[in-house]
Structure 1
Amino acid sequence: MSRIVRRPIAVSRWRDGEPLVFQDQETVRAIVDVIDVWFEMGCWWMGEGERKMMRVWTEDGGMMDLEEDAGQWFIYKIWD
């Protein structure tokens, strides 16, 4: 089961252009594994572009999908 949250995160460390450590509200999370990376196309007729998506495991055991949209990173989905 999962839930879509789409809330912004502040990335504090990078590796090869991808987030390595980020802050989610008051919690700092480190990514320990990137499970998958893919791209999704927005509504082109509304001017939306391509978004980069990453499914990651964090050091606290969380699995979540991160989204990069126009240079801003978000937690898009949290998996239970």
Structure 2
Amino acid sequence: MSRLVKGSLMVEVDGVGRPCRVQRGNRWLQVVEVLDRWYDTGCWWEGETPKLFFRLQLEGSRIWEVYQNQSSHSWHLYKIYD
């Protein structure tokens, strides 16, 4: 199961741009593994900007999908897997 979640994140990346830590609220979580990575152009015809998605395994066996807006470079939480 998974659930969609909308929210901003602070993300620390390594030397090649992969997330290595994420912060939600006042808590930092370590990325154990980057499980997948992909680009999504979204509804470009409606002005939506491209996004770079990552599926991350975090400490405590959490799996989150996060993305970086390629226009604003802001990070967002998209989905949490149960």
TM above 0.5, one fold? yes
1:78 is aligned, of 53, 77, 80, to 80
Q: Segments of 4+ in structure 1 off by > 3 A?
A: none
1:45-71 residue CA offsets vs partner (Å, 9 max, x unmatched):
211121111101001210010111130
5+ residue gaps, structure 1:
none
| Distance apart, 1:4 and its partner CA | 0.6
The alignment of Structure 1 onto Structure 2 pairs a total of residues equal to 79
5 Å-filtered alignment, 1:1-80, equals: 1-11=1-11, 13-15=12-14, 16-69=16-69, 70=71, 71-80=73-82
Question: Could you tell me how far 1:26 is from its partner in structure 2?
Answer: 2.4
Q: Tell me the TM-score normalized by structure 2.
A: 0.87
* TM-score normalised by L of structure 1: 0.89
Q: Deviations over 1:30-59 (max 9, x none)?
A: 101001001111111211121111101001
The percentage of counterpart residues that share the same residue type is: 32
Higher strand share: 1
Extract unaligned runs of 5+ from structure 2. Answer: none
Matching residue's letter, 1:48: E
Amino acid of the residue matched to residue 60 of structure 1? Answer: G
CA RMSD of aligned residues (A): 1.1
